[in-house]
């Protein structure tokens, strides 16, 4: 592969990572709008069902024979799917009780926990920068959490309950991500895994969904529902594809800007302390990824130097 094509793949991966981060930021606002005509359980069920159906159509067109991958998937993906269904409902329930910026900030605890879990189980070698950076990130979470409790305890008494729902959703996401990461390391197709998990999760939430209520939606509300399914497909698709094109550290660093995007899109709901906490978390993530980022950026610099010399 030429240097030019390597650079092209790298920047395409960076662009896809930003797309995933932006789509997840938009998700918080669209879900908040959808609560006007539906509940968290029904919306979560529709998101999972519609995204799995869209993915199935795409797989049949782009990846013939993909169904053979389903036979290789481990039993552990079933509890992982149950965890993901709780993640969807827990996040949506917490978002309904809080604000988009608050929910998006707290849900970032998931990637932090999955990093700690991979270190604890020996899947990845721990480094000083990992511990130092994660400690700073957790400090940022603590500052943000305390500020939100003080700021909204009087005006929104359900704030604490909403926070607990979102934090529980982050823990559930960690379990799913840990199992799915193990499957992908065995060479399993990410797309087949997503279809498998989304399908089981949708079936799990089916008894809790108020399907009849969706029959009364107007055209604008139907567009919102379709966007929710498309958002899941695009965000996860961009996120997983970005890993194939750019270093993992670069992708994770870009996705960690998600809360800052939400803050920028909701200036009336955030203040200086929110931004400070968000920047502390971003700094912590940056420091924790420093060894990988240094190596990745050094390779990019060498590649660019070779191109212009």
The three-state (H, E, C) secondary structure of 62-101, written as one string:
HCCCHHHHHHHCCCCHHHHHHHHHHHHHHHHHHHHHCCHH
Cβ contact 239:258 at 8 Å = no
Q: What is the pLDDT at residue 10?
A: 75
> Hey, which of 49-58, 63-72, 271-280, 300-309 has the most confident mean pLDDT?
49-58
Tell me the two tokens of residue 149.
């409790």
Q: What is the pLDDT at residue 304?
A: 63
Residue 158 vs residues 10, 115, 188, 281: alpha-carbon distances, Å: 44, 30, 41, 25
Question: Three-class SS of residue 219?
Answer: helix
Answer yes or no: is pLDDT of 27 > 90: yes
Q: What is the pLDDT at residue 243?
A: 74
pLDDT band at 48 (very low <50, low <70, confident <90, very high): very high
> Hey, which of 12-16, 35-39, 146-150, 156-160 has the most confident mean pLDDT?
35-39
Answer yes or no: is pLDDT of 14 > 70: yes
Distance CA 188, CA 29 (A): 33
Average pLDDT over residues 152-160: 72
Answer yes or no: is pLDDT of 56 > 90: yes
Top pLDDT among 175 and 185 is at 175
Out of 20-34, 221-235, 277-291, least confident range: 277-291
Top pLDDT among 10 and 123 is at 10
Average pLDDT over residues 22-38: 93
Q: What is the pLDDT at residue 79?
A: 95
The whole-chain average pLDDT of the chain stands at 85
Q: Going along 153-272, which residue ranges are E strands?
A: none
Q: What is the pLDDT of residues 93-132, one digit of tens each?
A: 999 998 888 898 888 888 778 777 877 776 666 778 878 8
Q: What is the pLDDT at residue 7?
A: 65
Cβ contact 127:290 at 8 Å = no
Q: What is the pLDDT at residue 226?
A: 94
Distance CA 293, CA 287 (A): 9
Q: What is the pLDDT at residue 6?
A: 62
């Amino acid at each position: 592969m030429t240097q030019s094509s390597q650079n092209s793949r790298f920047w395409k991966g960076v662009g896809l990572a930003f797309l995933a981060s932006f789509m997840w930021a938009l998700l918080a606002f669209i879900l908040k709008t959808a609560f006007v005509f539906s509940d968290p359980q029904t919306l979560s069920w529709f998101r999972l069902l519609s995204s799995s159906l869209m993915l199935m159509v795409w797989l049949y067109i782009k990846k013939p024979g993909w169904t053979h991958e389903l036979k290789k998937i481990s039993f552990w993906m079933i509890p992982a799917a149950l965890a993901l269904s709780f993640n969807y409902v827990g996040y949506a329930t917490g978002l309904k009780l809080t604000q988009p910026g608050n929910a998006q900030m707290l849900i970032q605890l998931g990637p932090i926990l999955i990093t700690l879990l991979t270190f604890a189980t020996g899947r990845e070698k721990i480094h000083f920068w990992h511990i130092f950076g994660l400690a700073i990130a957790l400090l940022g979470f603590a500052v943000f959490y305390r500020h939100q409790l003080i700021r909204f305890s009087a005006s929104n008494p359900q704030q604490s309950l909403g926070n607990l729902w979102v934090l529980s959703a982050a823990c559930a996401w960690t379990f799913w991500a840990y199992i799915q990461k193990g499957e992908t390391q065995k060479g399993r197709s990410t797309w087949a895994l997503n279809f498998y998990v989304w399908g089981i999760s949708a079936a799990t939430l089916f008894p809790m969904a108020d399907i009849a209520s969706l029959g009364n939606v107007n055209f604008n509300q139907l567009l919102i529902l379709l966007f929710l399914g498309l958002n899941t497909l695009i965000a996860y698709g961009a996120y997983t594809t970005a890993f194939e094109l750019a270093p993992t550290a670069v992708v994770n660093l870009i996705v960690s800007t998600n809360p800052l995007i939400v803050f920028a899109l909701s200036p009336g709901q955030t203040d200086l302390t929110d931004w400070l906490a968000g920047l502390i978390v971003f700094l912590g993530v940056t420091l924790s990824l420093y060894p990988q980022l240094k190596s990745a950026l050094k390779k990019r610099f060498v590649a660019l130097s070779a191109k212009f010399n």
